[in-house]
Structures are given as C-alpha cells and as structure tokens.
C-alpha cells in the first residue's frame, strides 16, 4: 500500500517500467510502515 499511495512520492520513487522502485528516504519509509502496522518504534 505504501508503494501505490502517491502521498509517499517524497520518500519512494518508481524507476523505469519494470516495477522497480527506489527508497529516497528509507527512514521515512520505515516510520510510515511502522505507523501502518501500529509499531511506532520501527
């Protein structure tokens, strides 16, 4: 879900057309994933 949500474009970018992505801000991705899973310490 984090990958498909356009509000995460600041920390996840898509590369090419083969479904590859790059985490431009891994710490922010981890924080958002923790929020989603109700584990704020991630």
Sketch the domain layout of the chain as residue ranges: 1-33
Write out pLDDT tens, residues 4-39: 898 999 999 999 889 899 999 999 999 999 988 887
For the question of whether the overall pTM of this predicted structure is more than 0.85, the answer is no
pLDDT of residue 20: 94
pLDDT band at 40, cuts 50/70/90?
low
List Cβ neighbours of 10 (8 Å cut-off, separation of 6 or more).
24, 25, 28
User: Cα(34)–Cα(5) distance, rounded to whole angstroms?
Assistant: 16
């Amino acid at each position: 879900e984090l990958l498909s949500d356009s509000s995460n474009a600041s920390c996840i970018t898509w590369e090419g057309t083969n479904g590859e992505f790059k985490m431009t801000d891994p710490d922010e991705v981890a924080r958002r994933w923790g929020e989603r899973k109700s584990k704020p310490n991630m």
